[in-house]
Amino acid sequence: MFIYSLPLFFEQIHLASPLELLIIFLTVFVILTISSPLNDEIQQPKFNGKYLFAAWTGNVALHWVFWPFFLVLNVSLYLADTFATRGLLTVSSWDEVHLMLLLPIIWWTTAIWRCSFNSHFRVWTGCARFLTLAVFFEYGLKLLIRIDYPRLFFGCEELLLDYGSCF
């Protein structure tokens, strides 16, 4: 997350400084940590072949919901962005990758918020909730880059079939 979009945001777009964004992020993190629920009894994973449903209903430990999807999501976003910046992925294909990941991200966010009761520490609950919100901020940045600044991000000189999307 933020490997390609945040440097463009600070160096080319100039909508906020790193200090302003850091203050906003820390404020949101503190609010999410303070308001996160705390439970002394963590639910043991009891998915028995129904992991997606158990996570959706909040019956799985928080780390079992957070880490698998977080790692897969970040690898997918990194590969899509790397291929797009090098001109190996067209702009339309890049859009499709992000659109395909949007519905699982909504599921993941809902599962994280429902499974937040299944953690011993408020810091981890706040961190998991904060990172789910950061994914939506990343999507907002990518939408801004896609609409207003495509020539900064995409390897437009190497795209032959989708060159019109760079304007």
The reply to whether 114 falls in a domain is yes
The closest alpha carbon to 8, from 158, 155, 118, 144, belongs to 144
The reply to whether 81 falls in a domain is yes
The reply to whether 42 falls in a domain is no
Higher pLDDT among residues 51 and 139, named by residue: 139
Residue 156 predicted with pLDDT over 70: no
9-47 confidence digits (pLDDT tens): 888 888 888 999 999 999 999 999 998 877 666 656 666
Instruction: Look up the pTM and report it.
Output: 0.85
At residue 70 the predicted structure's pLDDT band, cuts being 50, 70 and 90, is: very high
The reply to whether 35 falls in a domain is no
The reply to whether 43 falls in a domain is no
The reply to whether 37 falls in a domain is no
Residues near 145 by beta carbon (within 8 Å), at least 6 away in sequence:
5, 8, 13, 152, 153
Mean pLDDT score of the chain, rounded to an integer?
Answer: 86
The reply to whether 87 falls in a domain is yes
The pLDDT > 70 percentage for the chain reads 87
| CA atoms of 133 and 139, how far apart (whole Å) | 10
Residue 161 predicted with pLDDT over 60: no
List the alpha helices (DSSP H) in 36-162: 51-57, 62-85, 91-114, 122-148, 150-153
| Length, in residues, of the chain | 167
The reply to whether 72 falls in a domain is yes
Query: Would you state the pLDDT for residue 157?
Result: 63
Containing structural domain, residue 110: 48-166
| CA atoms of 116 and 129, how far apart (whole Å) | 8
Domains in the chain: how many in total?
A: 1
101-142 confidence digits (pLDDT tens): 999 999 999 999 999 888 888 899 999 999 999 999 999 999
